[in-house]
Structure 1
Amino acid sequence: MVIKKAEYIASAVKYEQYPVDGLPEIAMAGRSNVGKSSLINSFLGRRNLARTGNTPGKTQTLNFYRVNDGWFLVDLPGYGYAKVAKTVNAQWGPMMEHYLKKREPLRAVIQIVDIRHAPSVEDIEMQQWLRTMQVPTMIVATKVDKIARGQWAKHLKVIAKALDIQDVSLILPFSAQSGVGKTELNEAIEEILGLNLESVEEAARGDS
């Protein structure tokens, strides 16, 4: 899948604000400051499409990015940052639950963790929550450029154990800086979207 076009469409906190295109969606979730925006920008090949900031937890909306006019990448609000106002934290749960439970175009959630650290309580709760709601999930471990390649396997095993993932090879190592994992993530998303992606991209190109 070649990313030819990626554009910000909307930020939403309630159902009425979601796009109505009906295009398939892949959502990305992760702790605040885990490198989610950098991953999105790297994957889409756009330097500043998803805003990266110095204040973790600042983004508290669902941000929709339309890719190749064929599907949406949805940036979910970062979780687990204690300094976010209590009122905002109180809104986060219902907003996420409604989206993850009710959003028909949602195909899968990519949960992002930092390879350098064992998954947090919030990471584990998110994984359990997604399983309870039977949302297909893929785990991506970011910031692999921060540790020696020879240490990856050890750190990935820690993540797999904490998140109760039986096959550690299902966790994708990724670096927004070096590009490690970008091709594999592209292929995984293409597979998740499947024929839906193929048909809508053909329609966008005007193929017969």
Structure 2
Amino acid sequence: MTQSRYHRSHFLTSAPAVKDAPPDEGAEVAFAGRSNAGKSSAINTIVMQKNLARTSKTPGRTQLLNFFEVDPEHRLVDLPGYGYAKVSAKQRGTWHRVVEAYLAERQSLAGIFLAMDIRHPLTDFDCLMINWCGELGLRAHILLTKADKLGRGAAKATLLQTERALREGNDVRTTVQLFSSLDRTGLDQAHATLDDVLGYG
């Protein structure tokens, strides 16, 4: 049931600001991450569609709040990437303010899936987002993306190191998993976590 549920996801709307978002009801999970961390590819893999979320090798391609409907009561949201992007500082600032407003104001937001390139986890921007989730009482789940870029042992070691870093920071709520859009590593776990955060079952 889980796979068919997300496979039915479809594009709902793009919003340049929170005021332009769909009605604030039901539950939604937002996907965040540093530019080019594989965030949009992760969404496409999770919904088992090739081009639902736009992907690009150019950092900063996602510039709006993009809403995808799983069913009338549940949505996925692709947030603008943070960190490096080949755009002006003014434009980056605008995107960040939109994301800040969304996280603080959106009542239907149930949690964040945070995409991190497994080769560069827990950057300053990532840690800021995790802390922010903690302050707002939001569930945070980390996808260590591009896990296929490392050998199995190295990937597992990075997973354990990330979990240890969170514990040392007294973060016991944030969960972490390996994920690969190329070979679908971690897809079942991602579906199960989404089900939990969105309140299915």
TM-score, length basis structure 1: 0.86
Contact 2:31–2:112, Cα closer than 8 Å, also in 1: yes
The answer on 1:115 being equivalent to 2:107 is no
* CA distance in 2 between partners of 1:47 and 1:176 (Å): 10
Q: 1:103 aligns with which of 103, 106, 110?
A: 106
Q: CA deviation at 1:37?
A: 1.0
Q: 2:90 aligns with which of 84, 87, 90?
A: 87
Deviations 1:36-78 (A, max 9, x none): 1111001001111111112101211110000134411000100
Q: 2:71 corresponds to which residue? A: 68
Further displaced range: 157-166 or 120-129: 157-166
Mark the structure with the bigger radius of gyration.
1
Q: 1:172 corresponds to which residue? A: 177
* CA distance in 2 between partners of 1:82 and 1:179 (Å): 27
Q: 2:81 corresponds to which residue? A: 78
Contact 1:24–1:105, Cα closer than 8 Å, also in 2: yes
Further displaced range: 113-122 or 95-104: 113-122
**4+ residue runs of structure 1 moved beyond 2 angstroms?**
157-167
Q: CA deviation at 1:165?
A: 6.5
Aligned pair count reads: 196
* CA distance in 2 between partners of 1:36 and 1:122 (Å): 15
Further displaced range: 33-42 or 1-10: 1-10
Counterpart AA for 1:38: S
Q: 1:38 aligns with which of 35, 38, 41?
A: 41
Decide whether aligned partners of structure 1 residues 118 and 185 sit closer, same or farther in structure 2, where only a CA change above 3 A counts. Answer: closer
Identity score, percent: 36
Gaps of 5+ in 1: 199-208
RMSD, matched Cα: 2.1
Decide whether aligned partners of structure 1 residues 65 and 184 sit closer, same or farther in structure 2, where only a CA change above 3 A counts. Answer: same
* CA distance in 1 between partners of 2:24 and 2:85 (Å): 35
Further displaced range: 157-166 or 140-149: 157-166
Gaps of 5+ in 2: none
TM-score, length basis structure 2: 0.89
Further displaced range: 150-159 or 71-80: 150-159
Q: 2:158 corresponds to which residue? A: 155
Decide whether aligned partners of structure 1 residues 129 and 52 sit closer, same or farther in structure 2, where only a CA change above 3 A counts. Answer: same
